[in-house]
Chain A
Amino acid sequence: MDPAAGVDGVLDVLVEDGVIAGVGEDLEVPGAEVVDCAEKVLLPGLADIHVHLREPGQEYKETIASGTRAAAHGGFTAVACMPNTSPVCDRGSTVRFVIERAEETGVVRVYPIGAVTAGQAGEQLAEIGDMVAEGAVAFSDDGHGIQSAGMTRVAMDYLKRFDVPLIAHCEDESLAAGGVVNEGAVSTRMGLPGIPAEAEETMVARDIALAELTGCRLHLAHLSTADSLELVRRAKARGVAVTCEVTPHHLFLDEDSLVTYDTNLKMNPPLRTPADREAMVEGLLDGTVDCVATDHAPHAVHEKELEFELAPNGTTGLETALSLVNTHLVATGKLDWVGVCRVMCHNPRAVANLPEMRLEAGFPADITVVDPEARVDVTPGWFVSRSRNSAFSGASLLGRASDVLVGGSWVVRKGKVVV
């Protein structure tokens, strides 16, 4: 199944020397290994353009080795990793380190995202040209919004020179002001400082306006509110070069899940209202949302075991995203596999300048085989990631990646990571 290659049917895929050699009915190749994929769905390799691999600097949370294995386990053959490592990935040498480390220890393709500003401090441009030369595919100060509109404008003007997108983390910190959950019913009931939806929306509006001014490609990370999507919808309608992503947790969880002070449900942006969650799903189905991206944010147990207000933000996501999309959208008939290809493969690749993947002769053999009927119990034993801080712990899901090929080599067989 691949709309980009125009294939949809019960077909054979021939892989030779790491490349797709043919797609068609009843391919006969003497001596070839035959893998029976009956009842399964073959997709071009999925890509997650928003992950935190934590290396360099926070290897106790995740490494490129463990994070790429988690990606493979979840059915992804490519990830783009955020620059908020230690040190921040804000220069060519760090980009090169990540790429080399991924070649040595990784099992899926890794594309570094560089910082927009030096140290992600929001004050002066990082060496974007050097990072592009070393292989950075996009730029983001993810983790912090760039607070100054003037700085954002300079960044957008400069990024345009390299035809790379700005991936914006939209959060006005003067409005978010130390909040830890959505401002509203739950913040009031639980006595937790709130982050109003407007902390995101005002910056979404600002960044769309600046994208219009500068002509820079703008990708909005992890949108969480209905009104943010409405702003994107209107901007797209008038032809602004803006794209956006939504995370599985903002699609499938909302603030009502917060009944205890479970820190695995603490993330930024926070879980919003049920109406916001429904708007996210609607936006994904109507094309306003371009991609599902996980914002995979591993943290060690001892860090998440703190008081809610002290615990770090984030949930892991690589190993549950595909199962969640299948359980809530495909199995329920809301989204078909063409749609899954769109939001988890082709769109994210196009947004973040990743190489296109198709189930078509001549393309690299990056293939995700999905078993849509497999049951997945999200227990601690499920995770290959070094961390276990999943907002979906305890969930029972349907469907998973049973086999994954990267460049013609098996990285997952029968649901197990084999490299």
Chain B
Amino acid sequence: MLSNRHIMTMDDLIADEVTLILDTAESLAEVNQRRIKKVPTLRGRTIVNLFFEPSTRTRTSFEIAAKRLSADGINFTASASATAKGETLRDTARTLAAMSCDLVVVRHKYAGAPQMLAEVMDCSVINGGDGIHQHPTQALLDLYTMRQSLGRLEGLRVGIVGDVCHSRVAGSLVPALRMMGATPVIIGPPTLMPARPDVLGAEVCYDLDEALPTLDVAYLLRVQFERAARMPFPSNREYAMLYGMNADRLAAMPSHAIVMHPGPMNRGVEISADVADSPRSVILGQVESGVAVRMAAMYLLLGGAESGAAA
């Protein structure tokens, strides 16, 4: 089991626990290949998906994961603006707490929302993405995909390319890679770099072409124009010219190297269509891993062992 009852940031986990989650996900992945894709592991447990931001893939992934473990999953979609009409996050949390759920998955526009829920509610909390802070299950499924594709995590050199400063994916993936002995390199224009990349433990590179031959993974991020105060580069055309992954750049990477993206993709901006659809792209594999990894996280947090084996 896990030493912490929440997965809010990568700090809630240690390397052995990450490995345990990935191993557990590997055994649970088999369930997803069955004709009847369901095990009774979390029967009678209540899992609430509390989404304050629009999300399709993450919410669906958590929802499917809960259903395949036989948990009762409830979707709760709300507006993030506490200043508009409606109740505060704290009151929403108190309301849900009164209904006794076992696990809350929260996605919120602002950093720290999972911590606020955990203060108020007596249940486990999984952070499904908070502001520009962290998104730990995304990092876990990315590790799973890398391990599956490349056979290991230790020693990998992973280039995280693009809008790093607004990316909660990078916020979790950088420390996760460090924890597992890989080297994260964040690549992009200085306008999209975090204030202190050293705090996260990442190498910084402004020149994608210089980095490509050394990378085992090119992990492309979507540019989040909606979060930027002002346009961080002159045009999409110039961004694609400097940082867009295309066939020529793919060819500059080692032959074993893979391309990843957390989705949704902007084809033609950070990734060209031919690369997105190439055999070197494991983007759909990431989505597939997501279900198994989230099943593992839920199972391990809720101590599913009390109702029997994992699968």
- Nearest to B120 among chain A residues (CB) is A305
| Cβ B132 vs Cβ A191 within 8 A | yes
A307 CB contact (under 8 Å) in B110, B168, B195: B110
Chain B residue numbers with a CB within 8 Å of A261 are: 111-112, 115-116
Interface residues of A (CB under 8 A from B): 177-178, 183-185, 187-194, 196, 260-261, 302, 305-310
8 A Cβ contacts from B77-113 to A: 82-83, 88-90, 108, 110-113
Give every chain B residue within 8 A of A188 (Cβ-Cβ). 194-197, 199-200
Q: Give 6 nearest A-B pairs by CB, closest first.
A: A191-B133, A261-B112, A307-B110, A191-B111, A177-B229, A188-B196
With a cutoff of 8 Å between Cβ atoms, the chain B residues found around residue A306 in the complex are: 82-83, 88-90
Chain B min CB distance to A410 (Å): 41
Q: How far is the CB of B27 from chain A (nearest CB, A)?
A: 32
- CB within 8 Å of A: which of B39-75? none
Contacts of B90 in A (CB 8 A): 305-306
- CB-CB under 8 A for A185 and B111, given A191-B130, A310-B83: no
Interface residues of B (CB under 8 A from A): 82-83, 88-90, 108, 110-113, 115-116, 130-134, 168, 171, 194-197, 199-200, 229
Known contacts A184-B195, A305-B90, A307-B116: A192-B111 contact under CB 8 Å? yes
Give bound CA distance, A196 to B194, whole Å. 12
- Complex Cα spacing A307 to B87, Å: 12
Chain A nearest Cβ from B86, distance in angstroms: 12
Do A185 and B115 have beta carbons less than 8 Å apart? Answer: no
What residue of chain A has the Cβ atom nearest to residue B108's Cβ?
A307
Query: B115: nearest residue on chain A (CB-CB)?
Result: A261
Q: Say whether A309 contacts B195, CB under 8 Å.
A: no
A303: shortest Cβ distance to chain B, in Å?
Answer: 10
Report how many A-B pairs have Cβ atoms within 8 Å. Answer: 70
Q: Say whether chain A's binding surface is mostly helix, strand, loop, or mixed.
A: loop
State the Cβ distance, A199 to closest chain B Cβ, in Å: 12
B66 to chain A, nearest CB (A): 25
The answer to whether A194 and B110 touch (CB under 8 A), given A302-B88, A305-B88, is: no
Given contacts A187-B196, A192-B131, 17 further A-B contacts (CB under 8 A): A178-B229, A185-B195, A185-B196, A188-B199, A190-B111, A191-B130, A191-B131, A192-B133, A302-B88, A307-B89, A307-B110, A307-B111, A308-B112, A309-B110, A309-B111, A309-B112, A310-B83
Considering the chains assembled together, what is the distance between the CA atoms of A307 and B131 in angstroms? 11
Min distance, Cβ B192 to any Cβ of chain A, angstroms: 13
Is the CB–CB distance between B195 and A190 below 8 Å?
Answer: no
Chain A's closest residue to B132 (CB) is: A191
- Contacting B134 at CB < 8 Å: which of A178, A185, A191, A308? A191
Residue of B nearest to A309 (CB): B110
Q: Assuming A261-B116, A305-B88, is B111 touching A189 (CB within 8 A)?
A: no
A-B contact pairs, 6 of them (CB 8 A): A188-B197, A189-B199, A191-B131, A191-B134, A309-B111, A310-B83
Nearest chain B CB to A285's CB is how many angstroms away? 30
* In the complex, chain A residues whose CB is within 8 Å of the CB of B110: 307-310
The 8 Å CB contact of A193, one of B112, B130, B132, B196, is B132
Q: Once the chains are docked, how many angstroms separate the CA of A107 from the CA of B199?
A: 49
> Which residues in B have their C-beta under 8 angstroms from that of A302?
88
Query: Which residues of chain B come closer than 8 Å to A308, judged between CB atoms?
Result: 110-112
A270 to chain B, nearest CB (A): 13
Is there contact, CB below 8 Å, between A310 and B82? yes
Given contacts A192-B131, A306-B89, A310-B82, are A187 and B116 in contact (CB under 8 A)?
A: no
Do A187 and B130 touch (CB < 8 A)? no
Contact partners of A191 in chain B: CB under 8 A: 111, 130-134, 168, 171
State in angstroms the CA–CA spacing of A193 and B194 once bound together.
10
Docked Cα-Cα span, A383 to B111, in Å, equals 30
Chain A residues, CB < 8 A from B132:
191-193
Query: Which residue of the partner chain B has the closest CB to A308?
Result: B112
B108 engages A190 (CB within 8 Å): no
Residue contact A307 to B83, C-beta cutoff 8 Å: no
User: B80: nearest residue on chain A (CB-CB)?
Assistant: A307
CB neighbours (8 Å) of B194 from chain A are: 188
CA distance A269 to B169 in the complex (A): 29
CA–CA, A307 to B197, complex, Å?
25
Shortest CB–CB separation between residue B303 and chain A, in angstroms? 26
Question: Smallest CB-CB separation from B175: which chain A residue?
Answer: A189
Q: Is the CB of B88 within 8 A of A185?
A: no
Counting chain B CB atoms within 10 Å of each CB, the highest count among A177, A193, A260 belongs to A193
For residue B9, give the distance in angstroms from its CB to the closest CB of chain A: 9
Question: For A184, what are the chain B residues with a Cβ–Cβ distance below 8 Å?
Answer: 195-196
Q: How far is the CB of B138 from chain A (nearest CB, A)?
A: 14
B253 to chain A, nearest CB (A): 28
Q: How far is the CB of B227 from chain A (nearest CB, A)?
A: 9
Give A115 to B131 CA distance when docked, in angstroms: 35
